[in-house]
């Protein structure tokens, strides 16, 4: 049995019954990483010694009551892990080792999850392809000539390639859901404030949110149970009771009303993506839900407002990287100003510099009202659109991304084209809503992501809808064949795997 392919709930049952050990599972994952990560490049840092030591400790305790106990996890490299490098995929933090754990890390460690290492990402989470990493680009396990999405591309690729049992990402404008969609796995952005951001290296503080990337919806609910909840270290975390999300895993959507926004199916949406999502709507109707076309009229402005607000917040948040307090410092400089200039010029990549300049300009005297203030007003209108829709509909159904994963290098010279990859996900962050992506079809061999959007703090409903769809279809069962010689050609065929193209199970 290839135990590295297990889901959380499968691994939990085997660990609980002592049919496998935590050390055995952890070793299998590192063997898998050594076998395939040269092709995928999902990890920046691995902690084999620490993970194996932890696994032995877990085995000695013999207490597998909690579903995450003994289960190996990969963590995005912008989340602090005490004693383990946290680089944000940036040269400026290349050797930074945090002296503390993020609340996310504390909560996983308290449940005895085994941290394998830190995953690659777009530098400071600024990107949609994981090509902006200062170290190397991560590749999509379905076709290694394509991107895995971003900015949590390393986490999504690691899950899809079975290089971990589950992973953690962060989502500022789609950075969990879009790579999950591109890599054919499940990714959830919880409601803003549902999961503590303490110890998450800030990009845009009013938009950032931590969430799970998993192999199926059941695992997603299990991880959310562990990481959600109020944190006194994060003033923006919500003091709202956390339900048991696994109780929402019912294959029943009968009587639910689904809104399908016409704005998410317009120009720029690939025909096969549109068809797959509309076919998913038919699956829901077959299960007893009703679907109606709706309008979210301010959707077209959300992307442009986001690229004012997020860079503005990034401009403020990244001002701390000055070569004085921590991180890289330029070696040759004349005075303090020269030190700042050279450190930031050498330490930040092109996309980070671009967004800092955009944000600084938007916040500068004479432009604040014209740009930043106006963008915040647009944000309010975007949220109102969703508020109106949720008065009638239980959840909203749309694509996760307008296309499947694109070729590495295809959009690097066109920032505006790259930004368009988040057009379906950004409005959810602007409104602070929960959203989940799961596979709903394929274009050729590449996965297509289905996005389900819910009311604030109504993660149970979108998990129920996602679980019902997953149980009614087979898309999530198909796996990439990384070991195959065709992995780099985009023509993989997995004869051993279920035929995901069948769609609905009879």
Express each pLDDT in 321-375 by its tens digit: 998 888 899 999 999 999 999 999 999 999 999 999 999 999 998 899 999 999 9
The CA-CA-CA angle for residues 121, 123, 127, to 5°, reads: 75
Residues sharing a CB contact under 8 Å with residue 286, sequence separation 6 or more, in sequence order: 472, 504
Please state, in angstroms and rounded to a whole number, the distance separating the CA atoms of residues 467 and 452: 11
Is 151 considered catalytic here?
yes
Positive or negative: CA dihedral 47, 52, 57, 63: positive
Q: Which residues contact 445 (CB under 8 A, 6 or more apart)?
A: 142, 143, 490, 491, 492
Q: Which of 105, 152, 175, 437 is catalytic?
A: 175
Active site residue 315: no
pLDDT of res. 502: 40
- Residue entry with tokens 């789609």: 174
Measured CA to CA, the distance from residue 83 to residue 85 in angstroms comes to 7
CB 87 within 8 A of CB 348: no
pTM equals: 0.95
Residue 76 annotated to the active site: yes
Active-site entry in 27, 54, 55, 76: 76
Q: What is the distance between the alpha carbons of residues 162 and 166, in angstroms, rounded to a whole number?
A: 9
Where on the phi/psi map is residue 428: left (φ > 0), alpha (ψ -120 to 50), or beta?
Answer: alpha
Q: Which superfamily does CATH assign the domain made up of 3-299+379-502 to?
A: Amidase signature (AS) domain (3.90.1300.10)
Tens of pLDDT along the chain (506 residues) come to 799 999 999 999 999 999 999 999 999 999 999 999 999 999 999 999 999 999 999 999 999 999 999 999 999 999 999 999 999 999 999 999 999 999 999 999 999 999 999 999 999 999 999 999 999 999 999 999 999 999 999 999 999 999 999 999 999 999 999 999 999 999 999 999 999 999 999 999 999 999 999 999 999 999 999 999 999 999 999 999 999 999 999 999 999 999 999 999 988 899 999 999 999 999 999 999 999 999 999 999 999 999 999 999 999 999 999 988 888 999 999 999 999 999 999 999 999 999 999 999 999 988 999 999 999 999 999 999 999 999 999 999 999 999 999 999 998 888 877 888 899 999 999 999 999 999 999 999 999 999 999 999 999 999 999 999 999 999 999 999 987 544 444 444 453 443 434 444 32
Domain boundaries, the chain: 3-299+379-502
Residue 449: φ, ψ to 5°: -95, 135
Catalytic residue, candidates 151, 170, 248, 437: 151
Nearest to residue 323, comparing CAs of 336, 304, 307? 336
Contact by Cβ (8 Å): 266, 301: no
pLDDT digit string (tens) for 47-88? 999 999 999 999 999 999 999 999 999 999 999 999 999 999
CA distance 210 to 219: 16
The DSSP code for 478 is: -
């Amino acid at each position: 049995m290839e135990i590295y392919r297990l889901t959380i709930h499968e691994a939990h049952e085997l660990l609980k019954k002592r049919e496998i050990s935590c050390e055995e599972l952890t070793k299998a994952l590192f063997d898998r990483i050594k076998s395939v990560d040269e092709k995928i490049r999902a990890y920046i840092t691995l902690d084999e010694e620490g993970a194996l030591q932890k696994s032995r400790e877990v085995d000695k305790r013999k207490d597998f009551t909690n579903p995450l106990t003994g289960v190996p996890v990969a963590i995005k490299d912008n989340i602090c892990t005490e004693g383990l490098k946290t680089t944000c995929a940036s040269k400026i933090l290349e050797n930074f080792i945090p002296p503390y754990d993020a609340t996310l890390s504390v909560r996983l460690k308290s449940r005895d999850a085994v941290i394998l290492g830190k995953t690659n990402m777009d530098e400071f989470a600024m990107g949609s392809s994981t090509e902006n990493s200062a170290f190397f680009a991560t590749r999509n396990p379905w076709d290694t000539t394509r991107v895995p999405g971003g900015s949590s591309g390393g986490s999504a690729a690691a899950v899809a390639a079975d290089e971990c049992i589950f992973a953690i990402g962060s989502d500022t404008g789609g950075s969990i859901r879009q790579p999950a969609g591109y890599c054919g796995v499940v990714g959830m952005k919880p409601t803003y404030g549902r999961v503590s951001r303490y110890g998450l290296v800030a990009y845009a503080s009013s938009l950032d949110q931590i969430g799970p990337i998993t192999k199926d919806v059941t695992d997603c609910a299990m991880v959310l149970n562990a990481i959600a909840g109020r944190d006194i270290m994060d003033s923006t975390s919500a003091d709202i009771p956390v339900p048991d999300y696994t109780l929402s895993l019912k294959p029943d959507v009968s009587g639910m009303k689904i809104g399908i926004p016409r704005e998410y199916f317009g120009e720029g949406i690939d025909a096969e993506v549109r068809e797959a999502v509309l076919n998913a709507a038919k699956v829901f109707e077959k299960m007893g839900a009703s679907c109606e076309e709706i309008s979210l009229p301010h959707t077209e402005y959300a992307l442009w407002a986001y690229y004012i607000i997020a860079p503005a917040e990034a401009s403020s948040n990244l001002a701390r990287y000055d070569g004085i307090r921590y991180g890289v410092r330029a070696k040759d400089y004349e005075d303090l100003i020269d030190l700042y200039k050279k450190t930031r010029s050498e330490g930040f990549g092109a996309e980070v510099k671009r967004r800092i300049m955009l944000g600084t300009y938007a916040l500068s005297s004479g432009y604040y009202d014209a740009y930043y203030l106006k963008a915040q007003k647009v944000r309010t209108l975007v949220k109102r659109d969703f508020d109106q829709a949720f008065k009638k509909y239980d959840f909203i159904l749309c694509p996760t991304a307008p296309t499947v994963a694109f070729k590495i290098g295809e959009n690097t010279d066109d920032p505006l084209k790259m930004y368009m990859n988040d057009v379906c996900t950004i409005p959810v962050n602007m409104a602070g809503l929960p959203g989940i992506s799961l596979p709903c079809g394929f274009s050729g061999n590449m996965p297509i992501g289905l996005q389900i959007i819910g009311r604030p703090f109504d993660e149970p409903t979108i998990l129920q809808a996602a679980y019902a769809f997953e149980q009614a279809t087979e898309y999530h069962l198909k796996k990439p064949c990384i070991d195959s010689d065709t992995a780099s050609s985009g023509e993989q065929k997995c004869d051993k795997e279920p035929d995901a193209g069948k769609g609905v199970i009879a």
